Structure 1
C-alpha cells in the first residue's frame, strides 16, 4: 500500500510547529468525534509543538479501504508513517492514539523504531488471550453492521452507554458523550463490515517484540471499560521498559490527561530522551 499511497485519501488536521505528535483515533471514531466529546482538549495543545491528526482509512472524511486487509492494524501503522512522511514531519516523531490508534502506534514503532522517539497509548484494547476469547463477537458485529449501517448502530449504541463506558465518565461528560458516535454515523455498511471482520484478525503485537521498544511511553487507561480493560495497560507497562502508567478512576483523573499528553511531548522534545 505504501507504494501507491495518496495523501489525498486521508482527511488530516495540522496545527503548531516543532516536535511532532501524530495522533490516531479509535475504531469507528474520527477527528470530528474526538472534537465533539471534548475529552482531548486539543485546542490547548502547545503551539510550540506540531500536532497531526487524521481520519483513518474508512473513517470520518477519509476514503474507504478496498478490502478487509486495509483495516488490519499493521496496515494502519503503514498509513500513519506514510501520512507523517508526506506531510514532511520531522524524522523523529511521537506517536499516539486511543484504542485502535494506540495499537496503530505500537505497530508503527516496531516497524520504524528509528523514527519514533516517544509513544502515547490511550485505552489499549483487549489483547492476547483475552482477545482470543472474544473473537466470535466480531462476525456478529459485522452482520449487525450490514443490517443497520453506521446510523443504525449509532442509535443502538446510544441506548446502551452503560455497557460501553464507565458510568462516571458518562456522567462527567453527559452533554457531549454522544459525540463519540459522530464517526460511526458516517460509516457505510461495507466499511463497517470490513472493519469488524478485520477486528477478528487483529491483535496487539507479540509481547517479546513489544519488549524491544526502548522509547519513553505514556500509557493512559480508565477503569470500568470491558473493551479497554486496565489489564492490557498494566501488562504493557510491565513489558515496556521505559513506560509510565496512569489509570483513571474518576472524571477528574481523565480531565488531567490532556495535560499529561502535552507534558510528555514537551519533556521528550530532546533527541528522544526525557528531560
Structure 2
C-alpha cells in the first residue's frame, strides 16, 4: 500500500458516532467497506489499495455503524442495507456539504451505495461497485448462514466464529494476500445483530436500479459464492451503461486501483 497521510475524525450520524479518515486533495470520493471489516481493513489485508486515488481526490474511508471505530447498538434493523445507506447520506451531508461525490464500495458497501444512489441520486457523480453480494434467490443460502453464525457467536463466542470464518477457502484471486482471511473488526456484542441485519437485506429492486443515471464501473472477481458473478452481470445488465470488469487472477485484482482511478478521473 502506498504511504499516505490520513486525518481521523468522529462524526455523529443518526444516533451513532461514525469513525472516518481523509487523505489526499480534490473532489471527495468515499469508500464503503464490506461486512465485518472497517474503512481501512480490506486494504490492510491486501485486497484493495485505493491510495492512488489520493493524487486526484480527497479520499474518505469510513467505518460503517458497529464496525471498526464506529459505535452501534445491538439492534438488527440498524444494520440493514437501506439503513446503512441513510447513515452514509447523512455522513456526506456533514462532511461534504452539497458536493457531488464519487462512491466506491465492496459487498455490503456496494449495497449501501446502491441504496444511497437510488434514494438521493443527485448526491453522486460516479460509482465504482466492487464484489457485489448475493441477491434474490441466490441470497437464501447466505441468509441461513448469517443466522447460523449469529447463533454460533451467542452460543460459543466470537473465537468460534473467527475459526469457522478462517476455515472457508478463499477465492483464487486472494492468493498471496497480506492477511487471509481479513480481520473481523466487529465486537462479539454487536456482531450477531449485524449479521441478522444482513440477513434481512437484499439489493434494491430492478425497478430502482434502472433509474441509476450516472457512470458505473462494476469490479467483480470469480470463484466466490458470496460475491457471485451472476450478481455482477445482472447489475451490469440492469444499470444503464454500467461497465463490468472481472478479475480471475491476483494480478488482475491488482489492476483495480488503477481502473478505479482512471474511471473516476
Fold conserved (TM > 0.5)? yes
Conservation of the 8 A alpha-carbon contact between 1:150 and 1:187:
no
Q: Match for residue 194 of structure 2? A: 195
Conservation of the 8 A alpha-carbon contact between 1:26 and 1:101:
yes
Q: Match for residue 180 of structure 2? A: 177
Conservation of the 8 A alpha-carbon contact between 2:107 and 2:227:
yes
Q: Match for residue 138 of structure 2? A: 130
1:69 Cα shift? 1.2
How many pairs align? 254
1:98 Cα shift? 0.3
1:90 Cα shift? 5.1
1-structure distance, mates of 2:132, 2:202? 11
1-structure distance, mates of 2:25, 2:40? 22
- Larger mean CA deviation between 87-96 and 195-204 belongs to 87-96
- Larger mean CA deviation between 244-253 and 36-45 belongs to 36-45
CA distance 1:46–1:88, shift in 2 (3 Å) = closer
Q: Match for residue 110 of structure 2? A: 102
Q: Match for residue 74 of structure 1? A: 82
CA distance 1:43–1:91, shift in 2 (3 Å) = closer
Q: 1:9 aligns with which of 4, 12, 17?
A: 17
Matched position secondary structure for 1:190: coil
- Larger mean CA deviation between 219-228 and 43-52 belongs to 43-52
The reply on whether 1:118 has 2:126 as its aligned counterpart is yes
1:188 Cα shift? 2.3
Structure 1 unaligned segments of length 5 or more: list them.
Answer: 267-275
Please state which structure has a larger fraction of its residues in helix. Answer: 1
Please state which structure has a larger fraction of its residues in strand. Answer: 2
1:93 Cα shift? 1.1
2-structure distance, mates of 1:196, 1:202? 10
Q: Match for residue 5 of structure 2? A: none
Give the TM-score normalised by the residue count of structure 1: 0.86
2-structure distance, mates of 1:177, 1:137? 20
2-structure distance, mates of 1:236, 1:133? 20
Structure 2 unaligned segments of length 5 or more: list them.
Answer: 1-11
The reply on whether 1:83 has 2:83 as its aligned counterpart is no
- Larger mean CA deviation between 221-230 and 195-204 belongs to 195-204
Conservation of the 8 A alpha-carbon contact between 2:50 and 2:257:
yes
1-structure distance, mates of 2:105, 2:174? 21
